[in-house]
Amino acid sequence: MTIRKRRALATGLMAALLATTAAITGCANKEKEKENPPETAERRYQAADLDPRTVAASNAFGLKLFERLREAEPGANVWVSPLSVSSALAVAYSGASGKTAEAMAGTLGLGGLSAKEAGDGYRKLLDLLNRPVDPGIGMATANSLWLKEGVPFRDAYLQDAEADYGAELRTLDFAKKADALKAMNGWVKERTNGRIQKILEDIDPAAVLYILNAVSYRAAWTKPFNANNTEEAKFHVSETEAIPAMMMAQGGTYEYAETDDYQAIRLPLGKNASAAFVVLLPKPGVTLGSLTDKLADDPALLTADWPRRLGQIELPRFRVEDSSELNDSLKALGMGEAFDPKRASFAGIAPEPPNLYIGRVLHKTFLDVNEDGVEAAAATSVEMLAGAAPAEDPFRMTVDRPFVAAIVDAETGAVLFVGAVANPGGD
């Protein structure tokens, strides 16, 4: 089975502009609904209230997952939302028990946190991200649990999902497949502003719960690119092949770093520079894989302090759409126990037997970078089944070959999206 697919996604767990979905089979009969807080709602928390271990875990997990996906198709564009995938799996993790909980905690980087501490961390993180104080940034992330009619889930699990992850609870008749798919896909489409049209193609007969996460993100450049400066140039997709690309250009003072292996720049987003689009460009002769290996080993490279330097940046205008099945990558990262029909245990979600296990985890993303700013989206589906030193001279950074990019929230340090652009013209 291929790890990544670029067609419509089937039943699974995660998605985002960010959108995430999870399917779980088991037992439930309770329906609740939770409205998203209005965009004008005041924050309940401040950045100082956030447990930094939650952000560090999400970032580290997301970058390791990104590297696995990039290794599977080294010549393809890869775009991942660590926030979407980690938060969707965290909702499932909160109901895991025994060795399944241990495996999931290890993979998600939550080994030092209890499920309650992780829930508390995500509650504060999502609250901060959903209420940006910068008028130049619009972001919304939402979770929902879609419960199979007639299956008894544990009240404590549903209450924690609402309280910690802001999850909306809906009950559906999964036997009415067309109506159920329309409702869940419609939720994802709405929550991603139409960028993710569909996350689910079918409902597994054994499915009892879908956990969906959706994130939408739009930010204007703090300093927009002048469209009059955009010109066609060559982008070298390999040492022997170049394609035409529309290259945007601007100059100024930026947070910039340079080593023997790469150049890196942080392009500010929002009126108050409350986020950044980070670009890491391998030096000639350095492979993209060696750079993504560094990121997987040291996620702090994306959030480290860099000196401000005067220089010029040339960046392609591009759009990326990507979809992946994450099962094999998650198993390789140590979460195999959660996929095993005989050994998995999610006793915190519903009474056993039958035991629940994850069937499929799917992820779909979108990115558009142009002269005005950045728009990103992601959707994730998890299917759970019931089983038996700075230089003084101005720098010049021409992004005309494959590169790594990320969107990072400056206030929390959360890596919202990360990916590799091998071909700005598409796959």
In terms of domains, do 380 and 395 share one?
no
Give the residue from 10, 8, 41, 45 showing the smallest Cα distance to 412: 45
CB 277 within 8 A of CB 269: yes
- How far apart, in whole angstroms, are the C-alpha atoms of residue 21 and residue 202? 13
Q: Are 381 and 13 in contact (CB under 8 A)?
A: yes
Mark whether 29 and 150 lie in a shared domain.
yes
Same domain, 89 and 149: yes
Tell me which residue of 252, 263, 270 sits closest to 301, measured CA to CA. Answer: 263
Mean pLDDT of the chain: 88
Residue 426 lies in a domain: no
My answer on whether 20 and 129 are in the same domain is: yes
pLDDT value of position 66: 96
Is position 6 within any domain?
Answer: no
Q: How many domains does the chain have?
A: 2
Same domain, 23 and 64: yes
- What residues make up the domain containing 125? 14-220+320-387
CB 288 within 8 A of CB 73: no
pLDDT on residue 159: 97
Which residue(s) pair with 420 in the sheet? 78, 404
- Indicate the pTM of the whole model: 0.88
Residues 208 and 355 in one domain: yes
Q: Which among 208, 254, 199 is positioned nearest to 354, based on CA atoms? A: 208
CATH no. for residue 179?
3.30.497.10
- Model pLDDT for residues 151-193, shown as the tens digit of each residue: 999 999 999 999 999 999 999 999 999 999 999 999 999 999 9
Under a CB-based contact definition with an 8 Å cutoff, are residues 140 and 18 in contact?
A: no
Positions of the chain with pLDDT under 70: 1-41, 387-392, 426-427
